[in-house]
Chain A
Amino acid sequence: DTAVSQTPKYLVTQMGNDKSIKCEQNLGHDTMYWYKQDSKKFLKIMFSYNNKELIINETVPNRFSPKSPDKAHLNLHINSLELGDSAVYFCASTPTSGYEQYFGPGTRLTVT
């Protein structure tokens, strides 16, 4: 009965590789987000989708490409991974009629 789930939980990969992180929510929410949390725990929004449509796109390198096949899923694809991409990536979702944001457990990405 997990509300917001992410896979994988851990991802270790080499520089230059391409990887994807998947997110699914079973809450029926319309809006989903990707956040990046760095080693100092600072949390920064990257993208937001509402009903499969991109509504927020912060200053993120275009190596990062979100994809929302339906409103319950928001995946994050990263091309040409760099050392600085190492972080914990959190997916979150929000109902259209509410303001509570629910987070997934995070994906710890380590680029070597």
Chain B
Amino acid sequence: GEDVEQSLFLSVREGDSSVINCTYTDSSSTYLYWYKQEPGAGLQLLTYIFSNMDMKQDQRLTVLLNKKDKHLSLRIADTQTGDSAIYFCAGYSSASKIIFGSGTRLSIRP
């Protein structure tokens, strides 16, 4: 079945770039998403990329998609303390539903 995988934890120094990686299995995923969840809050859609794109940039966020390897990444430039959260990768599957990864908990070191 469809699966989306992410590493569970990432720690970066404030001001550095964060790169969160994700792999997925459903090659027919038309859209791939990044969501942010802060403690005690719901999921906030950060950005998404259509499967025919390689890259999408939105201010400090850069999404890279390698469709051949089914690999998606989110780069956050100049990481700030407010970026501390859980980041979920997700793919829109052929079954008309969005499948979420397990989330990567990003922590920021001073």
Tell which of A12-20, A36-44, A77-85 binds the partner. Answer: A36-44
Interface size on B, residues (CB 8 A): 23
Q: A104-B42, A105-B41 are in contact. Are A41 and B96 (CB under 8 A)?
A: no
Q: Decide if A54 is an interface residue (CB 8 Å cutoff).
A: no
Q: A100-B45, A105-B42 are in contact. Are A55 and B102 (CB under 8 A)?
A: no
Contact of B97 with A45 in the complex, beta carbons under 8 Å: yes
How far in angstroms is the closest Cβ of chain B from A106? 5
Q: A41-B86, A43-B88 are in contact. Are A102 and B100 (CB under 8 A)?
A: no
Interface size on A, residues (CB 8 A): 21
Task: Bits for B63-80, please: 1 = Cβ < 8 Å to A, else 0.
Answer: 000000000000000000
For A50, the closest partner residue in chain B by CB is: B96
Chain B residues with CB under 8 A of A44? 100
Work out how many contacts link A and B, with CB atoms closer than 8 A: 49
How far in angstroms is the closest Cβ of chain B from A22? 15
Contact of B88 with A101 in the complex, beta carbons under 8 Å: no
Complex alpha-carbon distance, A48 and B95, angstroms: 11
Complex alpha-carbon distance, A111 and B37, angstroms: 24
For B37, the closest partner residue in chain A by CB is: A41
Tell me the chain A residues, 75-112 only, with Cβ under 8 Å from chain B. 90, 92, 99-106
Q: A55-B96, A56-B96, A99-B92 are in contact. Are A41 and B102 (CB under 8 A)?
A: yes
A-B contact pairs, 15 of them (CB 8 A): A33-B97, A41-B37, A41-B105, A42-B100, A42-B102, A42-B103, A43-B88, A45-B97, A55-B96, A90-B43, A101-B98, A103-B43, A103-B44, A105-B42, A106-B42
